[in-house]
């Protein structure tokens, strides 16, 4: 028997097989996820850590993104990473720094609001301090995190509202700030849940001001999302997927307790404390990705604090906010 003839595949059969392969009979190779480098502020804060929870949940993987998340103390650290291109996206740098960088023509683009209002932040003193309110802070030292961070904007606004002259000092994150306050190195510290809550319950510190105490702050966007201008031009499709993943993560985080449990475990607090922090200090509306709220107040404060040389023109404001919400459609 001629075995060569038995195993021969004729043109007609070969064509049929090729057609079957083209029609999708072969297993499809899944598209690899695109990597993005992310710098976020203050690991452990509800708003800035949601991106990690979304990553752990698999939300960003569903959008074919593999996020490499690096943590910082916020403000200028995030902004510098974006400007140099060492990161693709910055989560929640302060709007003051963003405005300053924009005026200096730094290669940054604001893509979304990250926090509107300041319900998350509070300022405190040691329990034995004679300071009862910001009105008692003439000549005192008051903490914020980093230059250009939202804490700088809010602390400056609160001091103006109180009508006092105090010295603002960058102290880093809440943990480092708490140490400096309790050791007497600084008069008034800043924090956000959950750092400081246990000390307050134990009577070791006393809250004297909250972020939304000054008029206008409740509707003012204080933190934004930021990317490098070149990345925006060359990889906008990744930013679109990132934005959709961020919105999906926010919706998921407020629908049920799964993200809340992650938050409680990360911060080593009970679920009741975690729920109070989320629902009281971080209402869902505050995390809306668009629009930028009360930007005129931020511009005025930036001019006063010499972050801007002069107010932005209407055309400049339009350019600054041009990409906000663009990738949510």
Could you report the average pLDDT of every consecutive run of 10 residues in the chain (329 residues)? 39 42 49 94 94 98 98 88 97 94 97 95 97 97 91 93 96 94 97 88 94 90 97 97 98 97 95 91 96 96 94 98 91
CATH code of the region 122-218: 3.40.190.10
How much is the pLDDT for 13? Answer: 42
Instruction: Say if CB 215 and CB 161 are below 8 A apart.
Output: yes
pTM for the whole structure: 0.83
Q: What is the pLDDT of residue 29?
A: 53
- What the block records as the tokens of 276 is 């109070």
> Quick one: CA dihedral 47, 52, 54, 57, positive or negative?
negative
Q: What is the dihedral of CA 215, 326, 283, 102, to 10 degrees?
A: -40
Q: What is the pLDDT of residue 149?
A: 85
Backbone angles phi, psi at 273, to 5 degrees: -65, -40
Range(s) within the chain of domains with CATH label 3.40.190.10: 34-116+219-328, 122-218
Q: Which CATH superfamily is domain 34-116+219-328 in?
A: Periplasmic binding protein-like II (3.40.190.10)
* Per-residue pLDDT, 214: 86
Structure tokens at 189: 């510290």
Instruction: Provide, rounded to the nearest whole percent, the portion of the chain with pLDDT above 90.
Output: 79
**CB-CB contact of 137 with 187 (8 Å):** yes
């Amino acid at each position: 028997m001629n075995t060569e003839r038995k195993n021969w595949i004729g043109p007609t059969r070969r064509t049929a097989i090729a057609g079957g392969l083209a029609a999708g009979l072969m297993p499809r190779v899944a598209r690899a996820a695109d990597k993005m480098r992310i710098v976020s502020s203050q690991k452990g804060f509800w708003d800035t850590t949601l991106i990690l929870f979304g990553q752990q949940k698999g939300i960003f993987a569903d959008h074919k993104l593999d996020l490499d998340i690096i943590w910082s103390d916020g403000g200028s650290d995030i902004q510098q990473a974006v400007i140099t291109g060492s990161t693709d996206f910055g989560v929640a740098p302060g709007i003051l720094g963003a405005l300053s960088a924009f005026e200096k023509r730094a290669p940054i683009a604001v893509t979304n609001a990250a926090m509107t209002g300041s319900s998350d932040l509070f300022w405190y003193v040691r329990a034995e301090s004679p300071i009862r309110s910001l009105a008692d802070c003439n000549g005192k030292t008051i903490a914020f995190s980093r230059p250009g961070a939202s804490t700088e904007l809010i602390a400056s606004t609160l001091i103006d509202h109180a009508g006092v002259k105090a010295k603002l000092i960058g102290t880093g994150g809440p943990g480092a700030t708490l140490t400096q306050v309790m050791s007497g190195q600084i008069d008034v510290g800043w924090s956000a849940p959950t750092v400081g809550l246990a000390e307050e319950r134990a009577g070791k510190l006393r809250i004297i001001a909250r972020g939304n105490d000054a008029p206008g702050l409740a509707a003012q966007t204080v933190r934004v999302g930021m990317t490098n201008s070149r990345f925006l031009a060359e990889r906008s499709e990744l930013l679109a997927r990132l934005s959709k993943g961020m919105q999906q993560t926010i919706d998921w985080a407020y629908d049920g307790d799964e993200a809340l449990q992650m938050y409680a475990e990360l911060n080593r607090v009970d679920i009741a404390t975690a729920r109070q922090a989320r629902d009281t200090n971080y209402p869902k509306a505050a995390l809306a990705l668009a629009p930028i709220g009360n930007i005129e107040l931020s511009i005025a404060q930036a001019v006063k604090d010499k972050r801007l040389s002069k107010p932005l023109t209407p055309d400049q404001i339009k350019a600054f906010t041009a990409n906000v919400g663009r990738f949510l459609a």
